[in-house]
Structure 1
Amino acid sequence: MSLEVLMRGFALYGFLIFFNASVSAETQTIRAIVSDSNAPPYAIFNEKLQLTSGISKDILEVLAQRTQLPLQFLALPRGRVEQWLLKDQADIACFLNPDWVAQPSTLLWSGALFTTRQVLVRQDNKPAVTQIDDILGKRIGTDRGFSYPEFDAMFANKALIRDDANSLQSNLIRLQKQRVDAVLTVDLAYHYYQLHHNSEGLKADLLWTTPDAIYCAFNPNQLNLTTKMQQTLQQMIADGTIQHILQRYKPNPLSSTMAL
């Protein structure tokens, strides 16, 4: 075989590798986990458990539009999120914090999208909760699969009684029926609940802890895709897109009487 023929073969082989890689990149799909255990307005599902709206859907759709990649939603329980990312079965999951996962260094992370405040919801005829001593020994409604770093040690030693439910709505209904003493959630989720459900007899106290930053976690096995998503999300943070999306789901301060 002549040197010229051999070189043409190498050139063709190299072109095919480049072409296949380009096609793969162009047709890659963003596999996005949106857990149905995330309370509205983070994720809003219909009766058929189809994701119909919410902050997560809005953010991820803009991300897909700007990266020019198709988007696939994966409705998984919270407890399987990290496993799917690490096993290259999903590419992104949002509304996480490194403090809430077992091994945060095994995943890749976005910048902080926004912050939330935790609240303890109680019956309004009960004393305000201002410190941990106010709830010692009490039964606390929590979300199944979620981690609560400020309280996990107390749940473990039974200083507090953890009582899981599948949704914030279930927890708050149980609170109204006095089946739990308080419910742990976040400010935006509770405000949204008040807008759409009966919250008569309930009152929320801001937790004494600092606000929590909210991030997206990424699949560490797809570095090119992850880098592209990280850069795009950072642009969405910088240009105000994330805050604009959040405002769609916040109560109007001029008409709201839902101050914590």
Structure 2
Amino acid sequence: MTQTGFRRRVGRLCGAVALLASFVCAAAPPPLVLLIDTSAQMPQARVEGDRVVEGLHLDLGRALARRLGRELVAKPVPRKRLAEALQRGEGDLLCDYLSEWVPGSFAWSRPFIPDQALLVSAATAPAPAGLSALAGQPVGTVRGYVYPEMSEALRDGFKRDDAPDAATNLQKLQRGRVSHALTGRRALGYQQRMGAVRLALHPPLVVSEVLAQCALSPTAPIDVNALNTAIQGLVADGELNRLLARYQ
């Protein structure tokens, strides 16, 4: 083969490789970017530096992304910036929230992630007959979280004692810094199973039933109909229940 012929063959081969690479890149949809609160604690998430290591939010995001035919990128963001980051398109998806918790012009999925908001009280304190019995008493809460039922029942008598996250909130109860705390059933059950909360408690008072949702950024590469279809599959074939069971 002449040198000119060899160059032509190499040129054609390089052109074919470039065309194939271009086709592959064009065919691959962009990843789905899931925002996760940097202060989240297990079972919701465990964040180490700029990495989300494990947790329900990561598992849920991966399951939804797989059903949407996309890779998942989990991006930790401080709680105070979650709404802003989603609005600005720094991420596409935020899950396990309610619309009243995250202000902004987002498309919200159907409600599908079950939990209960609980009031838990140390057995060393009198068991409250209802929310109104806690007027003026400090109640363990998480900074940045809203508790509409407590605010409505107690108004100015709702005395928050904020912790940076749910695990620390329960640790305050364990150490006797507060006698009452607000938490989710999922978080309480996980912390008890891990041995982090060994304090004797009164039967918890259910403050509200929660069916949390996912929010989509205005710039997300999917629409809410596609997201709801993925959620429907997740619920219908039992995968959601299997994910939740990992952290009970």
Smaller-chain TM-score bracket = 0.7 to 0.9
**Equivalent in the alignment of 2:239:** 241
Return the letter of the residue paired with 1:44.
Answer: R
**Equivalent in the alignment of 2:81:** 80
Whose Rg is larger? 2
Question: CA offsets, 1:32-83, max 9 Å, x none?
Answer: 011133332121335x563222111111112222223221111122222222
- The answer to whether 1:100 aligns with 2:101 is yes
Q: 1:216 to 1:61 in 2, by over 3 A?
A: same
Question: CA offsets, 1:56-114, max 9 Å, x none?
Answer: 111111222222322111112222222211111111011101232335xx211112223
Q: What TM-score, normalized by structure 2, do the two folds share?
A: 0.80
* Structure 1 unaligned regions, length at least 5: 1-19, 251-260
**Equivalent in the alignment of 1:201:** 199
Q: 1:34, 1:93 within 8 Å by CA — same for their partners in 2? A: yes
Q: State the superposition RMSD in angstroms.
A: 2.6
* Structure 2 unaligned regions, length at least 5: 1-21
Q: 1:229 to 1:208 in 2, by over 3 A?
A: closer
Q: What TM-score, normalized by structure 1, do the two folds share?
A: 0.77
- The answer to whether 1:71 aligns with 2:69 is no
Q: SS of 1:171's equivalent? A: helix
Q: 1:160-239 residue pairs with structure 2 within 5 A? A: 160-203=158-201, 205-222=203-220, 224-239=222-237
Distance 2:146 2:26 in 1: 37
Q: 1:105-144 residue pairs with structure 2 within 5 A? A: 106-144=105-143
CA apart distance, 1:27: 3.7
Distance 1:102 1:31 in 2: 19
Distance 1:45 1:141 in 2: 23
Q: 1:25 to 1:218 in 2, by over 3 A?
A: farther
Return the letter of the residue paired with 2:31.
Answer: T
Return the letter of the residue paired with 2:68.
Answer: T
Distance 1:230 1:220 in 2: 16
Distance 2:180 2:38 in 1: 22
CA apart distance, 1:208: 4.2
Q: SS of 1:173's equivalent? A: helix
Q: 1:110, 1:234 within 8 Å by CA — same for their partners in 2? A: no
Q: 1:24 to 1:30 in 2, by over 3 A?
A: farther
Residue from 24, 33, 36 that aligns with 2:35 = 33
**How many percent identity over aligned positions?**
26
Q: 1:177 to 1:244 in 2, by over 3 A?
A: closer
Q: SS of 1:211's equivalent? A: strand
Q: SS of 2:77's equivalent? A: coil
